Amino acid sequence: MTHTKLIGERAISVNDEGYLTDYAQWDAQVAETLAKEINIELTPKHWAVLKFLQEQYKNEVALNIRRIGSSGVVDIKEFYQLFPQGPLKTSTKIAGIPKPASCI
């Protein structure tokens, strides 16, 4: 089911878990807002991870923790430090892309 979430003055479509249902609605303000909701302040390293995730999504590459750990962007330990509440689920939500199939 799709819901509407207000971010600034914009209505953003999200699913029951809070993931964007329309990637075209994503921008830096959306990312900042979603991150703040879970007490994450985005640093340049966070942005590098988000960009990597978005590139993988656009290229239809299945995402998982190992792929991110071997990306050269972050190692697995740092990935968990950047996104402590379930790194893959949290980072993909902030990146505006669907929850990976590998996430429960």
Clarify whether 103 is annotated catalytic.
yes
- Rounded to the nearest 5 degrees, what angle is found at the Cα of 70, between the Cα atoms of 45 and 31? 35
Catalytic residue (choose from 38, 65, 73, 103): 103
**Three-state helix/strand/coil letters over 81-98:** HHCCCCHHHHHHHHHCCC
Which residues belong to the active site? Answer: 103
